Amino acid sequence: TEAQTSLRHAPSLFASTPPPAGLSCHLLPSPHPATRSALPVGLVQRTCEPPARRVLRPSVGSPLGELDPGFPVSFLRSTSSNRRRMECVVQGIIETQHVEALEVLLQGLSGVPKERVRVHELCLKSGPNLGVVPSEVRLLCDLAQSTPSWTIRHVGGAMRGAGAEQISVLVRTIVESKASKNVLHYFYTIGYKLDHELLKIGFAFRFQRGAQITVTVTSTNKMSKLHATDEAVPVTPGIQLVEITAPAAADNYNDVVSAVTAFCEYLAPLLHLSKPGNTTGIVPTAGSAAASLMSSGGVKTL
């Protein structure tokens, strides 16, 4: 049967862009032609199990409480490459004019080359046929590679409890899995609908510093036409998002939180980093700090 999908753009990101008309899933193959392929039969058979929810507990008596993945964990059981793990994350914003100084600082602190980031992110939400508990999943297409690759990503619930409120880093569950090239068509077929899509462009540094830390600096772009990544325009011109993440486990998240918190101190003159949703805005010292970094040679000084 012909399933209809709709785009309900998030008001904060898409207020100026009218949603496209409903589209048939049969007419919506992968937005990136180079990634199209047949739907893997094994994936269909295994992922049509009844949804199940599980609560992950970091450790017995943990002061941070429980972790709720908020997603049918059986959904990705069919592939051997999927991972359910914990993640520590903080976010902040920086003016585009200071991004070069931040890059110089990160290069000096990490000692590794930056990686190019160009990711087409599609946010899908479950339809009524998938159960009464709504779920949200993100499909990430890495366009920075010569052959685009797809990843399924679900951001689960954050740690709860008095201890979680006392730390400046958000600890949450993440479910990830590599996906086949026709994954978007597959999700349309089983009842998910496209809510919105973004194109994130920037760079990232990945390095070890008390934990395996990834710092990503990107501009978020929206598209006026469905999947038109070549026509994407910035959502917030002049502002870029900085995100620091680090994988964690039930037995080491305290150490990872400490490592991320300590690293954030190095970036404090340029930007303030906090839990997602608690962004405090531009740091007043960013301009002078950026000028000092650029005039002093940055990496040489570090």
Q: Comparing C-alpha atoms, which of 183, 123, 129 is closest to residue 1?
A: 129
Give the largest Cα separation in the chain, rounded.
64
Tokens standing for 239?
């502002």
Between residues 208 and 299, the one the model is more confident about:
208
Whether the predicted pLDDT of 52 surpasses 70: no
Provide the whole-model pTM: 0.74
Mean per-residue pLDDT of the chain: 78
Between residues 110 and 12, the one the model is more confident about:
110
Residues 3-9 have a mean pLDDT of 34
Beta strand ranges found along 25-167 (DSSP E)? 83-95, 115-126, 136-142, 149-158
User: What is the pLDDT at residue 82?
Assistant: 57
By three-state DSSP, how is residue 96 classified? Answer: helix
Q: What is the CATH number of domain 85-294?
A: 2.40.320.10
Residue type at 40? P
pLDDT band at 177 (very low <50, low <70, confident <90, very high): very high
Neighbouring-strand partners of residue 24? 4
